[in-house]
Structure 1
Amino acid sequence: MAKTQLNVRVDEDTARAARERALARGLSVNRYIEELVRQDAGEAGRTFVDAAADFMKQYESVFAEEFAETRGTGTGSGEARS
């Protein structure tokens, strides 16, 4: 994958912390920041999936009833009720 240069400005304490944490993990600062961003993006994705799963769980019976009706096993008309 092609790399793109990204310049950021942080205070000295943040820069020092990034260098120390990268060194402790045996990573370059670039790789350390890349991994942090990927983790953050992954967590957002997981948060969305967890919220969607919770929603589906809460409304499982409503969806089950609606889909049963559209398959013709609920009202017998093959269409969902209004």
Structure 2
Amino acid sequence: MNRLADLDRVLDAVSHSRSAFEQYHALWTACLMLGSLEPRQRERIVEAVEEQLGATGRIKAGSQRHVLAQRILRALSVREDA
């Protein structure tokens, strides 16, 4: 199957984005991809999102990126207080 979104590129944009705009759109794309991913791919998304929600990450509480990150974790049934 041809995919418009490539998981490795999306993960790179979540983890190493050059701007908040780029990270927001990577998170949005990740949301759209969730239903078509294998379990290990979902784990990789969770790992990247949790890292960015952490103390050294770029996703700050109250931002739209935070809302999308929490949506991803909820969809994958992961703790929200990361």
- TM bracket (short chain): under 0.3
Higher relative contact order (CA 8 A, sep 6+): 2
Please, what TM-score do these two structures have when normalized by structure 1?
A: 0.27
Please, what TM-score do these two structures have when normalized by structure 2?
A: 0.27
Q: Tell me which structure has the larger Cα radius of gyration.
A: 1
